Amino acid sequence: MTDGKIIKLDLPPDRSALSALKVGDAVSVNGIVYTARDQAHKRICAAIENGEKLPFDLNNAAIYYCGPTPATEGRIIGSCGPTTSGRMDAYTPTLIAHGLKVMIGKGVRNAEVQKAIRNGGAVYLTAIGGAAALYQSRVISCELIAYPDLGCESVYKLEVRDFPAVVSVI
């Protein structure tokens, strides 16, 4: 544990930054994260299987399990709290095998995902459920990049600053 100290985690992460993390560490995430929920994960995995171009480079990428709502006037993004990570478990080992390093969401991960995280040198960070307004305030840019037909489950490229999370699986 960090004993009250918050660790700055810049994205994309380097190997030494991830290997220094411990379960229970509080982190402040800074950099680019991509939103993706189960339907986007399904399409990304299908693209991998079919040898198609992916909507973003998975190498050292960070995915936030979130489906942002549309921004209201004067806002960068709408509500953007974490969603339940377990819905992505069927797809996560494939994405880790293709370079995914950071996942942010809420809830537990299954044993297969935990093993893939350990073997892939990745990390799972837990975000606070019910804190959508806090997370909204930490997004400094938002761009729709893939699957607009999925609505709030589309893939967005977010730049975040001082995004709070806790290390849950390493």
Decide if 66 is inside a domain.
yes
The half-sphere exposure of 79 on its side-chain side, counting CA atoms within 13 A, is: 9
pTM for the model: 0.96
Is 160 part of a structural domain of the chain?
yes
Domain count, the chain: 1
Q: Which residue among the candidates 41, 101, 106, 138 is catalytic per the annotation?
A: 41
pLDDT value of residue 2: 52
- Asked if residue 29 belongs to a domain, the reply is yes
In a domain, 1, yes or no: no
Q: Which domain holds residue 160?
A: 6-16+24-169
b/e burial code for range 50-85 (CB count within 10 A of at least 16 → b) = eeeebbeebebbbbbbbbbeeeeeeeebbbbbbbeb
Question: 135: domain CATH number?
Answer: 3.20.130.10
From first to last of the 170 residues of the chain, give the pLDDT tens digit: 556 799 999 999 999 999 999 999 999 999 999 999 999 999 999 999 999 999 999 999 999 999 999 999 999 999 999 999 999 999 999 999 999 999 999 999 999 999 999 999 999 999 999 999 999 999 999 999 999 999 999 999 999 999 999 999 99
> Is 37 a domain residue?
yes
Q: Is 98 a catalytic residue?
A: no
